[in-house]
Amino acid sequence: MKTTRYFDHVRMRPDRTIIRNEWIAEAIDHAIETRIQSDGRIEKRVFIKTVGRYLRVIVLEDGETVHNAFFDRGYTEKGQ
C-alpha cells in the first residue's frame, strides 16, 4: 500500500492504530461512497461491520496513495 509521509505520521496516533490495512483496501476497492474534494483528493467510505462504524479514507489524485484514514463519527449513509 502506498502512503504519504503525513499518513505514516498520523497513523501512530492511538485512535488510528486500530485501523487495519485490509479495511483501508476495502474502502479503496469497494467504497459505498466516493467524493472528489476541492483539492483533487478522493474521499472514500466503507462500513466496517466488526467495529460498527464508517471508515473514511482519503487518497491522492492517483486513486491509490493513502493520505488519511479515520473513523467518521458523524457520517450516516444517504437515504437513512
| Greater pLDDT, 39 or 74 | 39
Does 80 map to a domain? no
Q: Give the integer Cα–Cα distance in Å for 22 and 20.
A: 5
Does 43 map to a domain? yes
Q: What is the pTM of this model?
A: 0.89
Q: In the chain, how many domains are there? A: 1
Average pLDDT over residues 42-61: 96
Q: Which domain holds residue 15?
A: 5-71
Q: Which residues contact 40 (CB under 8 A, 6 or more apart)?
A: 60, 61
Does 76 map to a domain? no
Does 11 map to a domain? yes
Does 77 map to a domain? no
- Evaluate if residue 59 carries a pLDDT over 70: yes
Average pLDDT, the chain: 93
Q: What is the dihedral of CA 11, 13, 15, 18, to 10 degrees?
A: 50
Q: Give the integer Cα–Cα distance in Å for 21 and 80.
A: 28
| Greater pLDDT, 37 or 73 | 37
